[in-house]
Amino acid sequence: MLGKIPNLCLSNGLAFYEVPDCLKILTELEERLISPRIPFMVIRTLDFCKQFGLKGNLVNVHMNVDTNVSILLRSFSDTHTIQLKLMRQMKNKNAFMYETIRPKVVHTAIKYLVEQELYKDEGIVISNNWLNEYSNGRENFVVNDEDKKFVENENTGKGFDDDDNWNECDDKPINQEATETLLNDEIDDQNDIGIKFAPGENNKPISILMDLKVDELTFPKIYCGKQRKIKPNVKLTYAKIAKSELRMFDRRCGRVSKLFFTYKKLQTRKFSDAISINLRKTKNTKNVTATQMLNRDYVDGLIHNDDAFTFLRCDRSSPAFWKLKKKEVMAMIRQLGCPTLFLTLSAAETQWSELIIILTQVLENKVITLEEAESMSYEKKCDLIRNDHVTCVRYFEHRLKCLWEILSAPCGPLQGYELIDKYVRTEFQVRGSPHVHALLWLKNAPKYDENNPESIERCIEFIDKLISVSSKPTKFSEELINLQRHKHSHTCKTYVKDCIKCRFGIPYFPMRKTMILEPFSDDEKLTKKEREEISKNRQNVIKELDKISKSR
């Protein structure tokens, strides 16, 4: 590799083109109007920090740019706007996208794009006949039928006394296409205001794997209507290209829609490759043929033996994926024994002042101090986090690596107990932030033996050495104690026999010292009266603990 240029070097054709001013100011819906592809995705807002999540699949639909532009006003100025609804189908009640767009901005952007090489290769042209025919006309955006009287008298100079002589049928519509989609419902119903159109209706979806230029045609604001020009002697997979785009100093690919689009395309490509490999992997037989796949009994046999689901290993939410991970954990337990510690780690982006400083510098090109980051409002912090998910995840990964280095250090918190190995599982919570579960194996850790009192004592000493439940704040632990103090919320409350209980069993019963509790043996079974007495005392203790926790 000495003297060779890395594959992910920008000089290999991965550098972005400079975005012209006419494309920089485009909104999400305005970009959809001038893009030859529409990626239909259901993107929803999550809880707390209002991050975003994707539900369902991605549908890539071809559309006619000239038809989209023709629905706009035939004459407009820089200040004219239109309320526009992008529909999947005209019969649908809810719009896929709903924004107030600027026709002047859209026309300026499309005039630039049709001159680019990619749009010319696609044969995209904008017809000016419709604009030239009505270049001097003016159409009023009328929502309520009663407003038509005011508009008519304003244009003719007549008073309201002549309204009875006006006939709506005598007027020829100036722009038939616009009036067909104009909604004339009551002004009070804001959901029905605007122009509805479905450019992808009745168009056949295109596979994102077969559409070779789908990225450039879907996001003209990112690629400026130009295609990547990767050097022919450089071999780059789509995963490497996506890695370069998302980690680049230019944050244009950090948009939510682009992130989910890249994720779905990469996932679909992995599925396709896995299916191709599985069809070639056979046991003492030749490759699977189309005749066999059309045979119902043959397919049922694959399903019965779970061979039909192995291609789903690349999907984190599939049983095949977790089956593979389960085998890895069980193999580690057989080799290393029972894990010593279990860790649960959650991301706290809004409380990481260093991350807020980085996000402010990356997104706003502004350098702030640590004090300014700490005093920043919660809403502002959430807005920064929502606008650059890649930086947030990479920062969390960096902190996680630093944690493992600290735990593995000879002078770290696990002094005398070397970290042998670990198993880490990363998932994402309802709020969209990463969450980690980890199993740790420590060297020289005591082994628990219920029949050996000395083993029990050594385990208790080990627990007291590494874990503390003391509520006495110190210089460094006061903030950590506040993070560990549980507060009941809707996520922890469960209903058991019409009673609200915490699913974590909090508050816990107080104990004077650390103890390892064992279940009752068969010889120590309690009578019904004794169980009722213990249950009654237990409820009294829980009530007192609730009072104490509420008083705090």
Cis peptide before 199 (omega within 30 of 0): no
The pLDDT of residue 308: 75
Strand order in the sheet with 82-86: 97-101, 82-86, 195-197
Task: List the chain pLDDT tens, one digit each, 552 residues.
Answer: 567 888 889 988 899 999 999 999 999 999 998 999 999 998 888 876 778 888 888 999 988 887 777 666 555 565 678 888 888 888 888 888 888 888 888 889 999 999 998 998 888 887 665 455 444 444 444 444 555 454 455 545 544 444 444 333 344 433 333 333 333 333 344 455 678 888 888 889 999 999 989 999 999 999 999 988 888 888 899 999 999 999 999 989 989 999 999 999 999 999 998 888 877 776 655 667 788 888 888 888 777 777 778 888 888 888 889 999 999 999 999 999 999 999 999 898 998 999 999 999 999 999 999 999 999 999 999 999 989 999 999 999 999 999 999 999 888 888 888 899 999 999 887 788 899 999 999 999 999 988 898 999 999 999 999 888 877 777 667 777 777 778 877 778 787 777 777 888 787 777 888 888 887 766 667 778 888 888 888 888 877 777 776 665
Cα–Cα distances (Å) from 187 to 138, 254, 278, 358, in that order, read 22, 37, 58, 45
CA-based nearest residue to 243, from 6, 10, 8: 8
- The answer to pTM > 0.95 is no
**H helix or E strand, kind and range, residue 435:** strand 434-442
Residue 548 neighbours by CB under 8 Å, 6+ apart: 507
**CB 510 within 8 Å of CB 519:** no
DSSP 140-166: ----STTHHHHHHHHHH---GGGGGG-
Residue 415, Cα to own-chain centre: how many angstroms? 39
CA–CA separation, 82 and 178 (whole Å): 11
CA–CA separation, 285 and 303 (whole Å): 18
The three-state secondary structure class of 323 is helix
The pLDDT of residue 164: 41
Long-range contacts of 510-517 (CB under 8 A, 24+ apart): 510/545, 514/460, 514/463, 514/464, 515/460, 516/448, 516/456, 516/459, 516/460
**Dihedral angle over CA of 425, 431, 432, 434, nearest 10:** -30
CA–CA separation, 349 and 367 (whole Å): 18
Q: What angle do CA 379, 382, 386 make, to 5 degrees?
A: 140
